[in-house]
Amino acid sequence: MTALLSAEAVVRRYGSLVAVDRVDLRIADGERHALIGPNGAGKTTLLDLIGGATRVDGGRIRFDGRDVTRLGPARRARIGIGRIHQRPAVWPSLTALENVVVAGWQQVGGFRGVRSRARFRSRLAEPAAALLEQVGLVDTASTTAAHLSHGQRRQLEIAMALAGRPRLLLLDEPAAGLSGVEVRRLAGLLAELPREVSVLLVEHRLDLVYALADTVTVLHDGRLVASGEPDEIRHAPEVRRAYAEAVR
């Protein structure tokens, strides 16, 4: 099967440190793929390389049959790579609905796409309201993002990413800083995402990872140490070793 995304032998160095060391990663259409590993393993760096926030020092990245290695993050977002950050990136002074409208703006062709009020409603405002409903924020549509809780901002950021109609959603520690109830809400929301959207999830909460992922890839010191189905990974000795070494 052809992969939606393939990273081939990608490398990223910071001085003498090799943060990502010849890592291969393939994500199929509709797949939920999790990236785990101890602190400093290179997970966020690999996500940045795939999203285009950071350039590779070696290797190649293909998305949907196209070489995107040299494209910047905005171009990659336009062709379908969406991103959720460790700290929710929302406009604090805009309402939840306005945040999603702005996030969907480019996908409908900007000014040309929404010249009349009716078109603004049908192409931007109504889909944005539907996305807020999908992420469980319908009651806070007119609340400014600054007044949302951290968990609600996380939900909002997911709605904003979906407004860009991604084929691949990169999620960087979405459960970080959430309460138990919020983590359960997030897990439900991610489980309900349509399969037209593939997911690459970086997450320390292994319960969330094992509940969602079809495939788990483990990084340690920038290198890929294992990749497979959750059950294989859970019991793989090299994975236990990587975590044990990291806490020493």
Ligand X SMILES: Nc1ncnc2c1ncn2[C@@H]1O[C@H](COP(=O)(O)OP(=O)(O)OP(=O)(O)O)[C@@H](O)[C@H]1O
Q: Which residues bind ligand X (CB under 6 A)?
A: 14, 17, 19, 37, 39-45
Closest CB 44 distance from ligand X, rounded Å: 3
- Which residue lies nearer to ligand X by CB, 123 or 154? 154
- Exposure string for 106-145, b = 16+ CB within 10 A, e = fewer: ebbeeeeebeeeeeeeebbbebbbebbebbbbeebbeebb
CB of 246 to ligand X, least distance (A): 10
Query: Residue 90 has what DSSP assignment?
Result: -
Q: How far is the CB of 35 from ligand X (least distance, A)?
A: 8
**Nearest-approach distance from CB 196 to ligand X, in angstroms:** 27
| Minimum separation from the CB atom of position 133 to ligand X (A) | 32
Residue 178 CB-density burial (10 A; 0-12 exposed, 13-18 middle, 19+ buried): buried
Beta carbon nearer to ligand X, 72 or 92: 72
Task: Determine the length of the chain.
Answer: 248
Contact call for residues 239 and 225 (beta carbons, < 8 A): yes
Q: Which is nearer to ligand X, 17 or 130 (CB)?
A: 17
C-alpha 120/C-alpha 97 separation (Å) is: 13
Looking at the Cβ atoms of 37 and 80, the one nearer to ligand X is 37
- In angstroms, the CA 45 to CA 51 distance is 10
- Residue 41 or 162: which CB sits closer to ligand X? 41
